[in-house]
Structure 1
Amino acid sequence: NLMHAAPAVTHPTGRTPQLAALVLRLWAVGWVAVAVALMLQPDLAAPGWPAAALLGAPLLAGAALAHWWWAQRPRRLSWDGAQWRLGAGAPNEGDDAALQRLEPRLDLQWALLLRASGVEAGRSRWLWAQAGRDAAGWHLLRCAVHAGAPAPAADLGEGARA
């Protein structure tokens, strides 16, 4: 009894206002942690490396989050029933690249953080996809992401028939 492959779907990825709000919230949590640490350990505010580390950590994290958010260019993620492809934001721009692997790393139901491998030699790319006005398309994307690529016939096991 073989599972049916997920249907073909194309969905946009990239930065959104909701992603910006999420990134800002994460950064704010870092600053709240600094404030709590300073309230519990006032000595940390004294000049020296502990103070520099305490204040530098959320600054570096904020810079990294801002860089990651900015790198989330608009793209099209497509599943044809057998392979994932990643293309430019507009359908007529071409340059679709086949992905070796697409892994969901965070599923918030309304958004997905995906790790795409095979875009460039030896590199992975993080993609942000979220629900839009097309609820049916969002459902199809989530089904395809969680279904994964179908196993080749050789991997079905001994005695299995395709």
Structure 2
Amino acid sequence: MHSAPSVTYPVGRSRGATRILVVLWTLGACCAGASCYLFDSAGWRQLLLVLSVVFSGVAAGFGLRRDGAATLHFDGLYWSLTGADPTRGVRAARATVALDFQSLMLVRLSEPGRASRWVWLEQRSMPERWRDVRRAVYSRAPAAEPASDPWRATAPADAP
């Protein structure tokens, strides 16, 4: 079995991810508006609901604005993320796919002792390397030691 190829892929603002976020926020805002309309009492609950919708929209806007260009690199064993802000970089992480829409993926980079980093990978960023990055993300990490004599692992213990 062959290992996944080493690959370098650009990461940055994703139009697809922005669209998904805007649609989800709009659906939430519509549900909050319908809730305020259907329940007549204008109390603290409706105010809290409206404030939470506004706060989530502002937080999402700042989060989208903060995402800058970076480079994701896979060396065959670990993932690294480098970009304009070196304090937010990732050096030796494992990648796990959270969402896969075939041309858009949400990937979680987890590094021991640090908070996870979430990145959107988009096919239109570098179409010629898209298959390579998909193979690398879905590949299993190589084992620390190769299994010796795999045919003996299935033999009964009392066999000669």
- The TM-score by the shorter chain falls in which range? 0.7 to 0.9
Do the aligned partners of 2:11 and 2:125 also contact (CA within 8 Å) in 1? Answer: no
Q: Does 1:72 align with 2:67?
A: yes
Task: Look up the match of 1:125.
Answer: 117
Determine the C-alpha separation between the residues in 1 that align with 2:139 and 2:110: 17
User: Percent identity among equivalent residues?
Assistant: 28
Task: Look up the match of 1:141.
Answer: 133
Aligned length: 149
Task: Look up the match of 2:4.
Answer: 6
Q: TM-score with structure 2 length normalisation?
A: 0.78
Instruction: Give 3-state SS (helix, strand or coil) of 1:59's partner.
Output: helix
Determine the C-alpha separation between the residues in 1 that align with 2:61 and 2:134: 26
Q: Which of the two has higher C-alpha Rg?
A: 2
Q: TM-score with structure 1 length normalisation?
A: 0.77
Task: Look up the match of 1:102.
Answer: 95
The unaligned stretches of length 5 or more in structure 1 are none
Kindly provide the CA deviation profile for residues 98-133 of structure 1, in whole angstroms up to 9, marking residues without a partner as x. 2232111111111111111228x4222111110116
Q: Does 1:114 align with 2:111?
A: no
Kindly provide the CA deviation profile for residues 2-23 of structure 1, in whole angstroms up to 9, marking residues without a partner as x. x321111111112133332222
The unaligned stretches of length 5 or more in structure 2 are 152-160
Task: Look up the match of 2:150.
Answer: 160
Runs of 4+ in 1 over 6 A off after TM superposition: none
Determine the C-alpha separation between the residues in 2 that align with 1:125 and 1:71: 14
Query: Quick one: which of 22, 30, 33 aligns to 2:20?
Result: 22
CA RMSD, 1 decimal:
2.7
